[in-house]
Amino acid sequence: MSRSMSRTVGVPVAMLMLFAASLPAAYAVAPGNLDELLEQTRSLRDREAAANKEREAKFLAERNKQSELLAQAKAELSELQRRQQSLSASFDSNEKKLTELQAQLDAKSGNMGEMFGVVRQVANDFSSVVRNSMISAQYPDREAFVSKLAATKALPSISDLERFWFELQREMTETGSVVRFKSMVVQPDGASVEQAVSRVGSFTAVSDGKYLAYLPSEHKLAVMARQPGGKFASAASDLSDATSGYVGTELDPTRGVLLTIYAQRPNWIERIKRGEAVNYVILLVGIVGALLGIYQFVYLMGVRAKVKTQLTQVGNPTTDNPLGRVLSSFKGDGSRIEEDAEVVELRISEAVLREVPPLERFQAFLRLAVAAGPLLGLIGTVIGMIITFQSITESGSSDPKLMAAGISAAMIATVLGLGIAIPLLFANAWLTSLSKQIIQILDEQSTGLLAERLEGKTGA
């Protein structure tokens, strides 16, 4: 019986032992018998029940707290909705009141509204004039005032209207005035230097002999990067140096546009550089011809002066001039009187011919230069047209800006060719006239000398 009971109870006891072994270390206590094991199980169950109650209590507390938060949020929502309704009612009321006030303002303003519209329109038009006028460099604060008046939505005050009228009057007055004032001038390197500026209305401004352009973005005057030359430069210098009286100057009615266009025009040196090598050949021929012509002119003038001096002293010939050398060729032993007239004539012709080459030198080269100048210019013209057609072919269009370079090179070569040919033509004609005058004197004097010799021989 005991053996069967032990066998029957052995299985649960083993299971309980296995359960006890699987408990955590905090709850695990090695049981000595079944009563202790039962006690441990009961104690464990009580502790788990207490933990579950604690968790339930905590959950209930959290649930109550969430309920309180939800109630608080609902209360805040209700308050905000009430406030929204109040603000909406206030907004509608204020909107209605503003509409009534605006209607009262329009009714009381009457014609002031139309005047305000006219003032804004005129101020808007005048603001563009002020922004681009170089008078603003002398009075820089007026642009902000006019721009503000043009953009305002409120009725202008009496002081604003008076100042606006003053600015309009000042613009008209300064447009017809010539003044000199100190102002910051932007130099080509970007630095601003205070200089004395001479301004002619709103059209032209100069400083230190240089033209100025107005920079609306900086409210300053700036020295033009490229200055127009010729009469424009001299006019700017005269205006800068003038202290009183009347001074002639150049006036640009476009307020700088025409001056900029004139400044962009290339000078003769730049035009020649843009051309081809034929321009330098034409210039070389012209310079050589001019130097030779000047040299020969000085030589002939000196020879003519000496020949005129010799004419007053025919009986005392000198060898420093052609006439003296021709007369000296008849001096000698008196045996020449016995010579035949033909021999004497040949000697005279020889003496005259000996003096002709120095008198007519360089004339052949000048005639050649006169003939070659237009031909060289024609070569340059052909080269320029080739450049023009090449630019048209490369671009695929006949844009005048693309064709301008080639046409300019062609025209400059033509002008240079004619420019050296025409002066050299007149120079050659003048030199030819001078040399012929001297040769004519030599022929006259030699013929007269031959006649005297022949008469002397006949009388003998």
92-116 pLDDT, tens digit per residue, is: 889 999 888 888 777 766 666 677 7
pLDDT tens digit sequence for 201-241: 888 888 888 888 888 888 888 888 888 877 888 888 888 88
Q: What is the mean pLDDT of residues 305-326?
A: 83
CA neighbor of 250 nearest in space, from 188, 240, 129: 240
Overall number of domains in the chain: 4
Question: How confident is the model at residue 23, as a pLDDT?
Answer: 47
For residues 320-343, average pLDDT: 65
Position with higher pLDDT, 28 vs 320: 320
pLDDT band per the 50, 70, 90 thresholds, residue 73: confident
Reply yes or no on whether the pLDDT at 60 is more than 70: yes
Please indicate, yes or no, whether residues 136 and 282 belong to a single structural domain of this protein.
no
Residues 249 and 344 in one domain: no
Q: Are residue 285 and residue 360 in the same domain, yes or no?
A: yes
pLDDT of residue 423: 92
Q: Are residues 195 and 288 in the same domain?
A: no
Q: Is the pLDDT of residue 361 over 50?
A: yes
The verdict on residue 99 lying in a domain is: no
The reply to whether 89 falls in a domain is no
How high is the pLDDT of residue 3?
43
| Stronger pLDDT, 333 or 181, i.e. the higher one | 181
Three-state secondary structure along the chain? Answer: CHHHHHHHHHHHHHHHHHHHHCCCCCCCCCCCCHHHHHHHHHHHHHHHHHHHHHHHHHHHHHHHHHHHHHHHHHHHHHHHHHHHHHHHHHHHHHHHHHHHHHHHHHHHHCCHHHHHHHHHHHHHHHHHHHHHCHHHHCCCCHHHHHHHHHHCCCCCCHHHHHHHHHHHHHHHHHHCCEEEEEEEEECCCCCEEEEEEEEECCCEEEECCEEEEEECCCCEEEECCCCCCCHHHHHHHHHHHCCCCCCCCCCCCCCCHHHHHHHHCCCHHHHHHHCCHHHHHHHHHHHHHHHHHHHHHHHHHHHHHHHHHHHCCCCCCCCCCHHHHHHHCCCCCHHHHHCCHHHHHHHHHHHHHHHHHHHHCCHHHHHHHHHHHHHHHHHHHHHHHHHHHHHHHHHCCCCHHHHHHHHHHHHHHHHHHHHHHHHHHHHHHHHHHHHHHHHHHHHHHHHHHHHHHHHHHHHC
pLDDT at 441: 86
pLDDT digits (tens, 9 = 90+) for 401-452: 667 767 777 788 888 889 899 999 999 999 999 999 888 888 888 787 777 7
Among residues 239, 262, 285, the one where a domain terminates is 262
342 found inside a domain: yes
Quote the pLDDT of residue 108. 67
Q: What is the mean pLDDT of residues 53-59?
A: 84
Please tell me whether residues 170 and 192 are part of one structural domain.
Answer: no
For residue 18, pLDDT over 50 is answered with: no
Rounded average pLDDT over 131-154: 86
User: In this structure, is residue 272 part of a structural domain?
Assistant: no
pLDDT mean over 390-397? 74
Q: What is the pLDDT of residue 312?
A: 83
- For residue 140, the model assigns a pLDDT of 85
Asked, for residue 96, whether it belongs to a domain, the answer is no
| Structure confidence at residue 425 (pLDDT) | 93
Shared domain check, 184 and 168: no
Whether residue 449 sits in one domain with residue 329: yes
Verify that 340 and 305 share a domain, yes or no: yes
Verify that 303 and 378 share a domain, yes or no: yes
The first and second tokens of residue 32, run together, are 């000595």
Q: How much is the mean pLDDT over the chain?
A: 80
346 pLDDT more than 90? no
Q: Choose one of 80, 104, 139: the last residue of a domain.
A: 80
Q: Is there a single domain that holds both residue 209 and residue 310?
A: no
Residue 102 in domain: no
The count of other CB atoms within 10 Å of the CB of residue 146 is 25
| pLDDT at position 20 over 50 | no
pLDDT of residue 430: 92
Least confident of 12-16, 117-121, 421-425: 12-16
164 and 195 fall within a common domain:
no
Q: Which of 209, 232, 262 is the last residue of a domain?
A: 262
- Residue 98 in any domain: the answer is no
Does residue 448 share a domain with residue 322? yes
Residue 335's pLDDT is 47
Q: Give the integer Cα–Cα distance in Å for 69 and 336.
A: 156
What's residue 287's pLDDT? 92
Range of the domain at 136: 113-175
